[in-house]
């Protein structure tokens, strides 16, 4: 199975604003940003499944890729919930609380938000469902935090290190899932990241 992880394109949010599960809109350059994504996905099999975060910045892209076919939405691949910090300027967030989170973002959650460990757990659950799908290819349109969590899972990478993975807006990453028919075993080939 070919698995394409796609980060949504740029959004209409000024630089320096904290947003995670806030349903922000895509930037005005979406049409031009879409073209290179579409060109990377031009030869997919007919039984390709498209799964998207329900947030509009992902769902709009997923629907355009689907050419009118159905898109599955899944809340497990929504971005990190930043709770009370959503849509605040990073510079305006109480610095002691922000520093505490930055020192251990894996385990510490923003007020009324979630930790990266919580996001990772829902992404693990999503992955197990994903690899069980009877299809040749899957497109997952999602967010930076989710892509980092999925890659940390398949690479068995410590979550603290996953922040080093940079995935640009609109980037396509391709994994290939291999299942052994003789034993209950699978392995992953990373064909490219941040393409």
For residue 88, the number of C-alpha atoms closer than 13 Å in the C-beta half-sphere is: 14
Question: Tens digit of pLDDT for each residue in 24-82?
Answer: 999 999 999 999 999 999 888 888 999 999 999 999 999 999 987 899 999 999 999 99
Q: What average pLDDT score do residues 167-181 get? A: 91
Task: Write out the DSSP string of 39-88.
Answer: HHTTT--TT-EEEE-SSHHHHHHHHHHHTTS--EE-GGGSPP--GGGTTS
Q: What is the mean pLDDT of residues 103-112?
A: 96
Answer whether CATH 3.40.50.1240 is correct for domain 2-192: yes
Count of all residues that appear for the chain in the document: 195
Of the listed ranges 24-28, 56-60, 109-113, 177-181, the one predicted with least confidence: 177-181
What percent of the chain is modeled with pLDDT above 90?
86
Angle at 38 between CA 33 and CA 41, to 5 degrees: 140
176: helix, strand or coil: strand
pTM (2 decimals)?
0.94
Instruction: Give the least confident one: 44-48, 98-102, 127-131.
Output: 44-48
User: Is pLDDT at 139 greater than 90 in this prediction?
Assistant: yes
Residue pair 8/141 in contact (Cβ under 8 Å)? The answer is: yes
pLDDT at 182 over 70: no
CA distance 7 to 148: 11
Average pLDDT on 112-118 reads: 98
Confidence at residue 183, expressed as pLDDT on a 0 to 100 scale = 59
Average pLDDT, the chain: 94
DSSP 104: T
Can you give the pLDDT at residue 91? 96
CB atoms within 10 A of CB 30: 19
Residue 184: pLDDT band by 50, 70, 90 thresholds?
Answer: low
């Amino acid at each position: 199975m070919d698995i394409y992880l796609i980060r949504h394109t740029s959004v209409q949010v000024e630089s320096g604003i904290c947003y995670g599960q806030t349903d922000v809109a895509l930037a005005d350059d979406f049409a031009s940003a879409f073209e290179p994504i579409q060109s990377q996905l031009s030869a997919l099999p007919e039984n390709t499944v498209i799964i998207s975060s329900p947030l509009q910045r992902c769902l709009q892209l997923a629907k355009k890729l689907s050419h009118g076919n159905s898109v599955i939405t899944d809340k497990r691949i929504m971005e990190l919930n930043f709770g009370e910090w959503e849509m605040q300027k990073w510079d305006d967030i109480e610095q002691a609380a922000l520093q505490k989170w930055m020192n251990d973002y894996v385990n510490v959650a923003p007020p009324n938000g979630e930790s990266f460990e919580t996001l990772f757990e829902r992404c693990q659950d999503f992955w197990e469902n994903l690899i069980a799908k009877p299809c040749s290819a899957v497109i997952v349109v999602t967010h930076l935090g989710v892509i980092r969590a999925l890659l940390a899972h398949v690479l068995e990478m410590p979550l603290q290190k996953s922040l080093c993975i940079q995935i640009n807006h609109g980037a396509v990453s391709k994994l290939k899932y291999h299942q052994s028919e003789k034993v209950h075993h699978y392995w992953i080939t990373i064909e490219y990241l941040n393409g």
